[in-house]
Amino acid sequence: MYINEPMKKYLDDTASGEPTPGGGSVAALVGALGAALTSMVCNFTVGKEKYKDVEAEVTEILSQAENLRGDLAELMQADTEAYSQVSAAYGMPRKSSKEKEARTAAIQEALKAALQVPLKAAMRCYDVLKLNEPLVEKGNSNLISDVGVAVALAESALQSAALNVEINLVSIKDEEFCKGVRETLDPIVAEGTKIKAEVWEKVMKVITG
């Protein structure tokens, strides 16, 4: 699994001519980095006398951020596995009409399964963004730029994961399924963009005075 291997291998494999890891996996990795920075801000806040009034809240944020970091790291790997299933479906034989029908059905099911990974990643990245809303005011002020980087990464990862959902949706023929996915995805993408902009503005005000 990539999460247990050197970062160089992941970067080399991403840059190679192989199809995985691709954009969906990279989106999850970027989201995990955003969650990691969120945790760092919390770790520099918890236990400090200056922030004892918000320690309980920040401790809870830290717990959630760590859970999200773990989830996104797993999704980084899961995306490569999901793509392999799609690739296998496209590689099925299609000489006879029966084979063609079986191949088409397998592709549709594989695409539906594959988009669940970036969809989950998008939702987790949205959660990372939400965690930073209170941190911009309650986290250690010495790490205010890290809050900004965390939301920038999380929002970028959210948008990237959403793009990987869309690329699967365009090939799925089940209109009701597609509608349901978009009803889940579109609101968090819009809200995530709003949260990032608001937090970023607050961060810049603190930095520039």
Q: pLDDT of 81-108, one tens digit each?
A: 888 888 899 999 999 999 999 999 999 9
Residues 6+ apart with CB under 8 A from 4: none
Residues of the chain below pLDDT 50: none
**Does residue 181 lie in a domain region?**
yes
Q: Does residue 1 lie in a domain region?
A: no
Query: The CATH number of the domain where 196 resides is what?
Result: 1.20.120.680
Q: Quick check: is 12 in a domain?
A: no
On whether residue 86 sits in a domain, the answer given is yes
Report how many domains make up the chain.
1
Give the residue numbers spanning the domain of 201: 19-208
Residue 65: predicted pLDDT: 98
> Is residue 8, in this structure, part of any structural domain at all?
no
Answer yes or no: is 108 within a domain. yes
Instruction: Please write the tens of the pLDDT for every residue from 47-85.
Output: 999 999 999 999 999 999 999 999 999 999 999 888 888
Q: Which pLDDT belongs to residue 4? A: 85
Helix axes 97-138, 23-43, angle to 10 degrees: 20
The answer to pTM > 0.85 is yes
Q: With respect to residue 4, please indicate whether it lies within any of the assigned structural domains.
A: no
- The pLDDT value recorded for residue 18 is 87
Supply the pLDDT for residue 2.
Answer: 81
CA 61 → CA 8, 125, 151, 206, distances in Å? Answer: 31, 14, 14, 21
DSSP character at residue 209 = -
Which pLDDT belongs to residue 39? 98
Q: How far is CA 191 from the centre of its chain?
A: 15
Ranges assigned E (strand) in 58-194: none
